[in-house]
């Protein structure tokens, strides 16, 4: 019998290969030249523009848009890359609706901001696809720096250090570089193996070598790195996943959303990925949305995101929430998981409604159950494998200024460091700024 | 409902909208379709003597775009008709016979010798055309042969040829003026002196629209070379309006009928030409960009506006704004305004601030939370902030009433009109006696 969205259990191949290919194509088609010109023309070239202040990497947005409008998209790309070497990926994954485009004066005026993200993609795609790397290295300094983690923070730091003339070695525990760009982003936001192309393009600066399969706690120790290198930048991300702490959590098919998202990105055959008929995603962030939407796109019949607080508390933007509902995902707010039911394999999840008073969340006692063949946990990641001896701030590595840790010669940035907001673009900014600080200290 | 019909120097048409002498009016097929679409008249594309001229076989037009490829201006290197004279005359006659209520004016350009005009005028008259327009304006191709703008740039030639035409035809003579001169009043006066029934203006402006930076050829490029062409379209409207007004208010040509041309794209443009003295208007580029159908908007818009304002005929509009066109020295120096920013309408883009701070009078302040306010002590009322503000009516100019103090000058605003001619700083000011 043919497998369909309503076939029971967890099944691969619920949709035809053609339907899957369509579902996982680029979420937003790239602008063509004329669309970009029209979109660029809407920019007012604001004085001291609010969009720049809203960009964690402070890209000179009005300038790059004017460069597009003036028929100089490669100049626009260079303006972007000067501030954000991963501007290509950020153009795809930034929640622009809560950053630059939210600050755009045309959002205030008309509810229709300049499409900054898509314009950034237009510019950066153009230059990157030409294979040109727009930067060159300064004279060699003879300094060597270890960067641990080849995600956005590590790559941005390494690139800036290489530009400044330093030699950089990036270590990453996985088999491929990219970090969350490669393993943690919904497939329809980064098609055509973009994350790997971007790393290859970034590495054209020279002076950066990559060593995969090496991680702290494995083959690496901080002591050894500090001894061998002039400086160390830690960008190890958040490798741990929070537990539900609900009864029955160890049932079969109760999975970490981040693993599901990574599998989707790494597979060469979407038809081979199993997904439940009834999927329940627990959490309120981008990971929850990415897992839920992709479950639906893989062919799940019923997909529900359950979040313990109200809609306004969701860290996924309203835009992302709307994307989810437009794909047929149901959002349930103010409910927390009590128990996972099933005879070894999950069949239902039981939730209790919540209410919050004075910042504390309490159960109301009223419960309900959702049928579930598959449950994805997306309630946050935690720091794992941080080197002993580094001061922590909460559950992350404590940093001051541009990423200085409690240990001399050791910097940290990206999701593993305290103070950020777990966005790719923020990780890029932290990596870049730490690089500048490392450079200043080493050369000072 | 307003009566849009006009009688322009004896040429009657159901509305003031004529198609200017240009490709849209170069043959029977187009002109019939134009009349069917509702155009009040046409000026048939310029006829010359046989053998007819030839055009280039590459691109004839260059373009200047605004946003979204909106055409702001076009230039052309096309010449006068490239068809035999008798073909044109036969077609003119046939069309005029079938559309007797529409204006049919025939544009002419022949060598600057009387025999040539004597030869062509009777032939045109025989078609039943309502009038002729002397093409003294074309800036390219024909001017190098001693015709078009080459005549239009020499007032004596204009007067001479106009006089020949008046002597050799009963048809009304319109003289089409070139803007490629320093002061349009001189050619207008010459046409008037020669007996012209009217002037029409402007013809196209000598121009190069762009240069191809790969081939280093001006556009439109003919085998790697370009030539200056005639610029027209919305971009030239301000230049045309001024020239029309200059003629309308010149003592020597005041009252000389004017057919207004130059970038008319909407009914509002047309109404502006009428208000500055035009009795009919001619349209070309807008029709070339959007097709003949725009005449519906032109007619409806003009008619509704006239109804709203209580004008019942076009001649009530003609020249209505002319008395308000004056020389700078007569502007009221006691009229004082200040910019005012509507904080509710402001979207905080800061363009007013950048414009004023960088390029004007440092008269707008910006707070850390992006509130922009006018500093009356510095505001000279230049209006640039209004012009660059993307929100209509967000910044307006407020008139200071007599008795109020202008904080910039410290002077109390006076009710009396006072201009430069009597200003104490004017070395040639005459003291009031």
CB atoms within 10 A of CB B87: 13
Provide ipTM, 2 decimals: 0.87
Q: Confirm or reject CATH 3.50.50.60 for domain A241-380, answering yes or no.
A: yes
Residue B203 maps to a domain? yes
Contact A44 B349 (CB under 8 A): yes
Pick A46's closest partner by Cβ from B69, B350, B391: B350
- Picking from B265, B289, B324, the residue at the C-terminal end of a domain is B324
What pLDDT is attached to residue A117? 98
Residue B83 maps to a domain? yes
The segment(s) of chain A belonging to CATH 3.50.50.60 are: 144-239+383-443, 241-380
Residue A14 Cα distances to A9, A18, A277, A301, angstroms: 11, 12, 9, 9
Nearest CA in chain B to A106: B347
Find the mean pLDDT for residues B72-88. Answer: 96
Residue A34 with chain B: CB contacts under 8 Å: 69
B13 and B105 part of one domain: yes
Pick A47's closest partner by Cβ from B67, B68, B351: B351
A106 interface with B at CB cutoff 8 Å: yes
Contact B67 A34 (CB under 8 A): no
Task: Give the 3-state secondary structure of residue A352.
Answer: strand
Residue B69 with chain A: CB contacts under 8 Å: 34
Query: Which of B349, B365, B366, B388 is the best substitution to test chain A (most A C-beta atoms within 10 A)?
Result: B349
Find the mean pLDDT for residues B45-51. Answer: 95
Residue B431 maps to a domain? no
A114 CA: distance to closest CA in chain B (Å): 13
Q: How confident is the model at residue B376 (pLDDT cuts 50, 70, 90)?
A: very high
Contact B347 A47 (CB under 8 A): no
- Separation CA B283–CA A376 (nearest Å): 67
B143 and B225 part of one domain: yes
What pLDDT is attached to residue A359? 80
Residue B319 maps to a domain? yes
What pLDDT is attached to residue A444? 87
Residue B432 has pLDDT above 80, yes or no: no
Residue B93 maps to a domain? yes
Residue A106 with chain B: CB contacts under 8 Å: 347
B296 and B374 part of one domain: no
Which pLDDT tens digit goes with each residue over A94-118? 999 999 999 999 999 999 999 999 9
Helices and strands (DSSP H and E) totals, chain B: 13, 22
Nearest CA in chain A to B389: A44
Find the mean pLDDT for residues B199-221. Answer: 96
A47 interface with B at CB cutoff 8 Å: yes
Task: Give the 3-state secondary structure of residue B36.
Answer: helix
Q: How confident is the model at residue A385 (pLDDT cuts 50, 70, 90)?
A: confident
B66 and B132 part of one domain: yes
Pick B349's closest partner by Cβ from A34, A38, A46: A46
Residue A1 has pLDDT above 80, yes or no: no
Nearest CA in chain A to B394: A109
Which pLDDT tens digit goes with each residue over A8-23? 999 999 999 999 999 9
Residue B431 has pLDDT above 70, yes or no: no
Residue B266 maps to a domain? yes
Angle, helices A61-69 vs A33-41, to 10°: value is 130
Pick A41's closest partner by Cβ from B68, B349, B370: B68
Instruction: Write down the H helix ranges in B100-226.
Output: 114-125, 149-152, 155-168, 185-193
CB atoms within 10 A of CB B345: 14
Contact A105 B348 (CB under 8 A): yes
Q: What is the CATH number of the domain that holds B45?
A: 3.20.20.70
B214 interface with A at CB cutoff 8 Å: no
B429 interface with A at CB cutoff 8 Å: no
What pLDDT is attached to residue A201? 98
As a whole number of Å, the end-to-end CA separation of chain A is 71
Residue B45 maps to a domain? yes
- Separation CA B159–CA B186 (nearest Å): 10
Task: Give the 3-state secondary structure of residue A263.
Answer: helix
- Picking from B282, B300, B324, the residue at the C-terminal end of a domain is B324
Nearest CA in chain A to B356: A47
B243, B98 Cβ separation under 8 angstroms = no
B366 interface with A at CB cutoff 8 Å: yes
Pick A105's closest partner by Cβ from B68, B69, B349: B349
- Separation CA B385–CA B349 (nearest Å): 12
Contact A37 B350 (CB under 8 A): no
Q: How confident is the model at residue B283 (pLDDT cuts 50, 70, 90)?
A: very high
Angle, helices B185-193 vs B155-168, to 10°: value is 30
Q: Percentage of residues in chain A with pLDDT exceeding 70?
A: 100
Provide φ and ψ at A195, rounded to 5°: -60, -40
List the catalytic residue out of B138, B232, B379, B394. Answer: B138
Residue A412 has pLDDT above 90, yes or no: yes
Q: What DSSP character marks residue A312?
A: G
Which pLDDT tens digit goes with each residue over A142-175? 999 999 999 999 999 999 999 999 999 999 999 9
Nearest CA in chain A to B369: A50
Find the mean pLDDT for residues A49-73. Answer: 97
B233, B74 Cβ separation under 8 angstroms = yes
B172 and B206 part of one domain: yes
B300 and B340 part of one domain: no
Residue B348 with chain A: CB contacts under 8 Å: 46, 50, 105, 108
Residue B158 maps to a domain? yes
A48 interface with B at CB cutoff 8 Å: yes
Residue A109 with chain B: CB contacts under 8 Å: 347, 390-391
Which pLDDT tens digit goes with each residue over B340-360? 999 999 999 999 999 999 999
A72 interface with B at CB cutoff 8 Å: no
B270 and B417 part of one domain: no
B183 and B302 part of one domain: yes
Residue B75 Cα distances to B62, B221, B284, angstroms: 5, 12, 12
Contact A41 B391 (CB under 8 A): no
Pick B353's closest partner by Cβ from A41, A47, A106: A47
Cis previous bond, A163, omega within 30: no
The segment(s) of chain A belonging to CATH 1.10.1060.10 are: 33-129
Give me the number of domains chain B comprises.
2
Q: How confident is the model at residue B188 (pLDDT cuts 50, 70, 90)?
A: very high
- Separation CA B371–CA B377 (nearest Å): 18
Q: Percentage of residues in chain A with pLDDT exceeding 90?
A: 95
A44 interface with B at CB cutoff 8 Å: yes
Buried b (16+ CB within 10 A) or exposed e, A215-247: bbeeebebeebbeebbbbbbbbbbbebeebebe
What pLDDT is attached to residue A238? 95
Mean of the per-residue pLDDT values of chain A: 96
B404 and B285 part of one domain: no
- Picking from B324, B347, B367, the residue at the C-terminal end of a domain is B324
The boundaries of the domain holding residue B129 are: 6-324
B148 and B248 part of one domain: yes
A53 interface with B at CB cutoff 8 Å: no
Say which CATH topology domain A144-239+383-443 has: FAD/NAD(P)-binding domain (3.50.50)
Contact B68 A47 (CB under 8 A): no
B380, B362 Cβ separation under 8 angstroms = no
Q: Confirm or reject CATH 1.10.1060.10 for domain A33-129, answering yes or no.
A: yes
Contact A109 B353 (CB under 8 A): no
Q: Across the A/B interface, how many CB contacts are shorter than 8 Å?
A: 36
B406 and B273 part of one domain: no
Known active-site residue B385: no
What pLDDT is attached to residue B386? 98
What pLDDT is attached to residue B145? 77
Residue A347 has pLDDT above 60, yes or no: yes
Q: How confident is the model at residue B149 (pLDDT cuts 50, 70, 90)?
A: confident
Q: What is the CATH number of the domain that holds B340?
A: 3.30.70.20
B96 and B136 part of one domain: yes
A400 CA: distance to closest CA in chain B (Å): 27
Task: Give the 3-state secondary structure of residue A218.
Answer: coil
């Amino acid at each position: 019998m043919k497998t369909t969205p309503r076939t029971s259990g967890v099944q691969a191949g619920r949709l035809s290969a053609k339907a899957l290919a369509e579902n996982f194509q680029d979420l937003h088609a790239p602008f063509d030249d004329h669309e970009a010109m029209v979109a660029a023309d809407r920019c007012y070239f604001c004085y001291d523009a609010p969009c720049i202040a809203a960009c964690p990497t402070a890209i000179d947005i009005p300038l790059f848009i004017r460069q597009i409008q003036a028929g100089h998209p490669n100049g626009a790309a260079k303006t972007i890359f000067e501030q954000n070497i991963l501007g290509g990926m950020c153009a795809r994954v930034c929640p622009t609706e809560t950053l630059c485009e939210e600050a755009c004066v045309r959002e205030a005026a008309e509810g229709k901001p300049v499409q900054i993200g898509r314009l950034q993609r237009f510019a950066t795609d153009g230059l990157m696809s030409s294979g040109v790397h727009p930067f060159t290295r300064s004279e060699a300094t003879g300094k060597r720096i270890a960067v641990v983690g080849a995600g956005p923070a590590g790559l941005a730091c390494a690139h800036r250090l290489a530009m400044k003339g330093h030699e950089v070695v990036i270590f990453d525990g996985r088999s491929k570089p990219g970090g969350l760009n490669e393993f943690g982003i919904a497939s329809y936001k980064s098609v055509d193996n973009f994350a790997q192309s971007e790393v290859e393009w970034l590495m054209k600066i020279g002076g950066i070598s990559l060593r995969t399969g090496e991680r702290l706690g494995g083959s690496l120790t901080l002591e050894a790195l500090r001894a061998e290198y002039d400086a160390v930048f830690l960008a190890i991300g958040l490798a741990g996943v929070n537990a539900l702490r609900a009864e029955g959590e160890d049932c079969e098919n109760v999975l970490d959303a981040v693993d599901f998202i990574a599998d989707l990105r790494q597979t060469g055959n979407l038809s081979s990925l199993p997904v439940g008929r009834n999927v329940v995603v627990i959490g309120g962030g981008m990971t929850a949305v990415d897992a839920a939407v992709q479950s639906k796109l893989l062919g799940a019949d019923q997909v529900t995101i359950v979040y313990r607080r109200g809609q306004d508390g969701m860290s996924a933007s309203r835009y992302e929430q709307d994307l989810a509902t437009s794909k047929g995902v149901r959002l349930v707010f103010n409910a927390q998981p009590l128990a996972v039911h099933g005879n070894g394999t999950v069949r239902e999840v039981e939730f209790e409604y919540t209410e919050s008073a004075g910042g504390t969340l309490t159960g109301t006692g009223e419960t309900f159950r959702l049928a579930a063949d598959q449950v994805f946990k997306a309630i946050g990641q935690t720091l794992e494998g941080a080197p002993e001896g580094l001061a922590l701030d909460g559950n992350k590595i404590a940093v001051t200024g541009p990423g200085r840790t409690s240990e001399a010669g050791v910097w940290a940035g990206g999701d593993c460091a305290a103070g950020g907001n777990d966005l790719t673009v923020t990780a890029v900014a932290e990596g870049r700024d730490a690089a500048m600080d490392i450079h200043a200290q080493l050369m000072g | 409902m307003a009566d849009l019909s006009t009688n322009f120097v004896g040429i009657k048409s159901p509305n003031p909208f004529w198609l200017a002498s240009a490709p849209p009016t170069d043959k029977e097929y187009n002109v019939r379709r134009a009349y069917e679409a509702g155009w009040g008249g046409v000026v048939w594309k310029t006829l010359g003597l046989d053998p007819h001229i030839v055009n280039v076989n590459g691109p004839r037009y260059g373009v200047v775009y605004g946003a979204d490829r909106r055409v702001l201006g076009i230039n052309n290197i096309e010449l006068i008709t490239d068809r035999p004279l008798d073909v044109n005359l036969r077609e003119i006659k046939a069309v005029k016979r079938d559309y007797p209520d529409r204006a049919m004016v025939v544009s002419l350009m022949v060598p600057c010798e009387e025999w040539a005009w004597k030869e062509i005028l009777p032939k045109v008259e025989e078609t039943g055309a309502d009038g002729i327009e002397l093409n003294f304006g074309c800036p390219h191709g024909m001017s190098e042969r001693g015709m078009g703008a080459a005549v239009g740039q020499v007032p004596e030639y204009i007067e001479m040829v106009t006089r020949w035409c008046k002597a050799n035809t009963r048809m009304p003579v319109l003289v089409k003026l070139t803007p490629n001169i320093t002061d349009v009043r001189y050619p207008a006066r010459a046409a008037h002196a020669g007996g012209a029934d009217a002037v029409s203006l402007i013809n196209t402006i000598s121009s190069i629209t762009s240069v191809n930076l790969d081939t280093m050829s001006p556009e439109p490029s003919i085998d790697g070379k370009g030539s200056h062409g005639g610029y027209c379209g919305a971009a030239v409207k301000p230049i045309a309006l001024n020239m029309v007004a200059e003629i309308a208010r010149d003592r020597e040509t005041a009252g000389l009928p004017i057919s207004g041309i130059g970038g008319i794209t909407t009914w509002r443009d047309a109404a502006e030409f009428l208000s500055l003295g035009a009795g009919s208007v001619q349209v070309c580029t807008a029709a070339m960009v959007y097709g003949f159908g725009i005449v519906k908007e032109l007619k409806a818009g003009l008619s509704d506006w006239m109804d709203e304002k209580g004008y019942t005929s076009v001649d009530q509009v003609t020249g209505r704004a002319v008395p308000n066109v004056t020389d700078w020295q007569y502007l009221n120096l006691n009229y004082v305004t200040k910019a005012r920013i509507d904080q509710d309408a402001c979207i905080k883009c800061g363009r007013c601030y950048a414009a004023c701070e960088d390029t004007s009078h440092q008269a707008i302040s910006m707070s850390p939370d992006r509130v922009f306010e006018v500093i009356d002590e510095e505001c000279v009322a230049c209006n640039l902030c209004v012009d660059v503000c993307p929100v209509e009516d967000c910044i307006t100019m407020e008139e200071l009433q007599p008795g109020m103090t202008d904080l910039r000058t410290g002077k109390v605003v006076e009710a009396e009109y006072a201009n430069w001619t009597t200003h104490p700083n004017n070395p040639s000011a005459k003291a009031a006696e």
